[in-house]
Amino acid sequence: MKKQLSLGIGALALVAALAGCGGSSGSSASAPPASSAAASSAAASSSPAAAAEMKVASSSAGQIVVDSKGMSLYFFTKDVKDSGTSACTGACLAAWPVFTTTADAPTVDGVTGTVGTIATPDGKKQVTLNGMPLYYYAKDKAPGDVTGQGVSNVWYLVSPSGEMIKGAASTGY
């Protein structure tokens, strides 16, 4: 009895640890770290309608591209369109994590720009829109946060057509 209970608890701990790593059956896109409450509510709200890895949301900056959980995505003006590489490296990546996928063709809902991927140095697939790599902002903590808009005049939200949104934004949707 003790052995079965130990195995059951161990299995639950493994499932919880894997769930905390961002893996879910609803989406293969990676997401920035989130609080466990936010991660739990996002996992609980998974549905067929939320299957797209990228979708459109209304924000204080207008219509923007977000991931499946509603987290805002950004362009970096120092990236070169269609170069196949990201200019954000080293310490930059701590503040601006890349938006990755495991799919060759990430699924979208309402995004009209050309979606693709490039290889990251560690072998992952970073999602691109119109040839430009996409990123999260580590200080965006909840769906609707757009605090990365205009940071250092080089980070900008993304429109559904794949253009940089250079207008000002307030703090959320």
pLDDT attached to residue 169: 57
Whether 108 contacts 52, CB under 8 Å: yes
In tens, the pLDDT along 65-80 reads 999 999 999 999 999 9
Question: What value does the mean pLDDT of the chain take?
Answer: 77
Is pLDDT of 89 > 80?
Answer: yes
Which band of pLDDT confidence, cut at 50, 70 and 90, is reported for residue 168? low
Burial of 97 (0-12, 13-18, 19+ CB in 10 A): middle
pLDDT attached to residue 150: 96
Closest among 89, 93, 102 to 136, alpha carbons compared: 93
Q: How many CA atoms lie within 13 A of 146 on its CB side?
A: 27
pLDDT attached to residue 30: 44
Rounded to two decimals, what is the model's pTM? 0.71
